[in-house]
Chains A and B, each alone.
Chain A
Amino acid sequence: MKRFFKLVALVSCVSVASFANAQELNVYSARKEALIKPLLDKFSASTGISVNLVTGNADALITRLKSEGKYSPADILITTDVGRLYRAKEQGLTQTIDTTSFNNLISQNYIDPQGHWIGFTLRARPLMVAPGRVDKTQLTRMEDLTDPQWRGRICVRSSSNIYNQSMVAAMIEQLGEDKTQTWLNDFVKNFARTPKGGDRDQIKAVVAGQCDIAIANTYYLAGMASDDDEAIRETASKVEVIWPNQQDRGAHVNISGAAIAKYAPNAASAQKLVNFMLQEDSQVWYAKTNHEYPLRQGVAQSAVLTSFGDFKSENIDLSRVGELNRQAVILMDKAGWK
């Protein structure tokens, strides 16, 4: 018993951080550590602000933010999709970001209308096919995926993944619920297997021959194409990117971005980080390391991404994608997309 209390005391002393230190910044990041830490280190080096990083599942972070309430030490929330940013705002966990300096540098689609979140980089979710087995002329739009000729030939990850949810939410916004539901019902029938694994697994499955078409985020393929392992590079080379809906609405895109926590003890530092992330060299590094499309205009994308081709992206307000996320999940459940 005594041991217990001693331990508690010891542990509390060790762990309780001092939160109102102006030289600190507390980051809750859904982006994995390896993909964000180097940039945060650069930030620390250039501003002298030391960064404390917590990574985790975005929803877990949001729940944690919520329950921590006004004592939460979090200053900034970084996510890898817009849906969660929207949810954080919806639950009253965010405050406004000063976006005035970016209004001309970033498309308004990628900033929250009320200024509660802002995007850093962009990624797309095109089709990736085995060139020998798929006639590209037959596959120009997402709507084409429901054609019976593709029965048993499509691999896509689970509906519990936020990227698919956002994709469907965008569809609802642009096509309406009924059409989206119909599309979903037929789309699911063409699955080669019950959804499993991540985006890379879908690409690998296409190469292995289990299916011919995959849907995945661009940065996964780009990452595979520039991997140290030759075998992985070879796998990546065996699929080709098809940009859907280029003649009408455009391909689905999503952002990784951030929101400043409502009760942030170091809001000023958080703002500094946002500014930092949208600086040119940060954009270059972030985009390159994560294989994403930089949001800041005028910043070049990586060579690998260029090799996928130019494309037209959807022109919708991403906050709508966030709003419709719940609906999307309901429709996906009804269609039986596991």
Chain B
Amino acid sequence: MLSLSNICVAYDNKPVVNKVSFSIESGEIGCLLGPSGCGKTSILRAIAGFEPVSEGDIHLRGTLVAGADIHAEPERRKVGVVFQDFALFPHLNVGQNIAFGLHGHSALQKSQRVIELLALVGLPDISERFAHSLSGGQQQRVALARALAPRPDLLLLDEPFSSLDAELREELAQDIRRILKHEGTSALLVTHDQHEAFAMADAIGVLKDGQLLQWASAYQLYHRPADKFVAGFIGQGTLLPGTLIDNSMLQTELGLFQLTAPQVTQFAGAKILDVLVRPDDIVHDDSSTNVAMVLSRAFKGAHILYELALNDDPAFRVLCLAPSHHDHELGERIGIRLDLKHLVMFNA
């Protein structure tokens, strides 16, 4: 449905997006994730047609819509956009807003589509009302309905949840995912919040300083981050230094690890490597003889996130997510067991 190859976007001759490539299949929901200023919004705007690309191509439904020589106007791209501030027209009521993009439809067809969409987004009776009388969540749903009304090939969402309350976000994210899947609409979401990304997207791309570091599913990003930045950005964890022995074994405070064959090739010649240790890799086991000292703790409801010092040495820290009835104090030594399924290592 959507494919970008090596696109660069520049403002005032300063590049903000550098050779980014990814693609989204029909019916798939993608996400561009990254801190502010990483270029994700610029990519979105380039796909929509609000910004030109200085290099590379963008294809929509197999057609070239943007490149160094060609720039199709947004009006022609059949791309729907949901804006951060919703941009609902204040002078039109909800029904008129939603019908705004329906051209060449009869009045009857328009009103039917409006009813259909309002039902879809769960706001059946508000067609006569005006944007200013709606709550944030309602406005967002209307914005979504409006963008979906003309049945676009692709839906773009620019930080759609940033102006909403935190509790609403996940619920809405799941709702929107459900709606999109129901309609079979491909979508690309842009956000800085990984929880939204996890709730909504099939594939996520992590961006930093205009470069795409990794494009994969949430699980892949979490468990097989390609890059130290991705590892640090996604989820939580610590990096444990280890010494490489014989090019095939890594010695760490947690024990000895065996490298796989590809990893041996990858890290040939290296001396010190960092191992990514996620909180779910460390299991709290009172019966274990391995103990670590509690440096800090954070109550999370069902779990407590402990920060532990291996061998009482704060230089070697790991995180441990334990069921919250295991209530231990700071300075206590608690038993732990290693349950590491994915060995993720980076150059030090």
A–B touching in complex (CB under 8 Å): no
Interface residues of B (CB under 8 A from A): none
